[in-house]
Homo-oligomer: A and B are copies of this chain.
Amino acid sequence: MHPLKFGQVENVFNKSFQTRVSGVPHKTSQRLSIIDIARDAGVSPATVSRAFNRPDLLKADTLQRIKAVSREHGFRPNRVGSSLRSGSTRTLGLVLPTLRNPVFGECFEGAEQYAHAHGYSVMVASTGYAPVTEADAVQSLIDHQVDGLILTLGNPARSATLRLLAGQDLPYVLAYNESSTHPFVSVDNAAAASDMVSLLAARGHRRIAIVSGPLTASDRARRRLAGARGQARKLGLEEVLHLPMASHTAADSDKLRELLSAPRKARAPTALFCSNDLLAASVISCLRGLGLSVPTDISVCGFDGMTFAGLMVPPLTTIEQPSHDIGARACASLLACLQGETPPSLRLAHRLISGGTIAAATSAAS
């Protein structure tokens, strides 16, 4: 089954060959160990290990020698051996809904950069917003013996994933999710949604609809809806409608038509607040197909602040989340957990980006 049989045999040969002859056959694809280097450098394996992990402990001279020998042979310590012995893989797991949404790509890069800067690697897994996949992804990362997890869950209140996690003593922090029981890094979703409703109200909108994906698959969408409704009530607007779509990333044209070109057009919302930017773009595109232009005929706004939102024509009005930072800070919090600390939950600042997709409400108010 294992294809490299022959290669391995060859390696063994090279290995003993090299230890006998002192020449350095630079390319002879070796699988050297710390022991080989130790022999060549005239020190013990432990000292070689220290050269890579605690170089400060060694005499400068010894360190140089070991480094030189290692470099000559192109030797790098095998992390698998190291992980097994030390009990730490120095790898963090990151679970995200989907990398088709560049917002999560940014988050990944934020986490990746922070992790690398601190000697850790990150292993991502995407869930496609599916609870089962989510649990599988976490299990897989646990199997890989990651030192901790950064999670964006569908529902951080009750999910199979969290039950799984409860059985381990693996530190984890949530990203984007807000939770009363676990450290998280996110924006204040309710407040952000509330801000957007205020803006809409200021432009004269009194009938607003929230367009989202399935609420069961995203507590963020739920919080945003709640925040919007709260603010609408406070400002005396009409009850915020809710239009859930089958997907988090694609609008359903029929549902939109039903909502807008319905008998009582007078009662149709004048603004559609979408729970993420991808969805907002899709909504705008669908509206276009229905003969409605944004923002002339109807206002639309999003949530996320993906880079792309600013490139749309007109630019999308949206709430910017600091995704790169969310990733980086979540990573920082997780590393703090690994040090035994209990990091506080962080609500990072959001920012309302006023693009060109919201206009003053046209239809005479009710």
Contact = CB atoms under 8 A, between A and B. Distances in A.
Interface of A: 2-4, 7-8, 26-27, 29, 74, 76-81, 83-84, 86-89, 91, 98-102, 104-106, 108-109, 112, 116, 121, 123-126, 128, 139-140, 142-145, 166-169, 249, 278, 281-282, 284-285, 288, 294, 307-308, 310-313, 315, 338-340
A87 B8 contact: yes
A143 B79 CA distance: 6
Given A99-B108, A168-B29, A288 B307 contact: no
Contacts of A168: 29
Interface centre among A27, A144, A288 (most CB of B within 10 A): A144
Contact of A288 (B29, B98, B166, B313): B313
A313 B288 CA distance: 8
B169 A29 contact: yes
12 contacts: A4-B87, A8-B87, A29-B169, A79-B143, A84-B84, A98-B105, A101-B105, A104-B105, A121-B144, A124-B124, A281-B311, A313-B313
Contacts of A8: 87
A142 B100 contact: no
A338 B5 CA distance: 11
Contacts of A88: 2
Given A84-B84, A169-B29, A126 B98 contact: no
B143 A76 contact: yes
A145 B77 CA distance: 10
A218 to B, nearest CB: 18
A105 B126 CA distance: 10
A81 B84 CA distance: 6
A171 to B, nearest CB: 9
Contact of A281 (B104, B105, B308): B308
Closest 8 pairs between A and B when the two form their complex, measured CB to CB? A99-B105, A3-B340, A281-B311, A29-B169, A285-B311, A80-B84, A102-B102, A80-B83
A139 B79 CA distance: 12
Given A27-B166, A112-B126, A145 B78 contact: yes
A105 B112 contact: no
A285 B313 contact: yes
Contacts of A116: 140
Given A76-B139, A98-B109, A116-B140, 18 more contacts: A8-B87, A27-B166, A80-B80, A80-B83, A80-B89, A102-B102, A102-B105, A108-B126, A121-B123, A121-B144, A123-B123, A282-B311, A284-B311, A284-B313, A285-B310, A285-B311, A285-B312, A312-B312
Contact of A100 (B143, B169, B307): B307
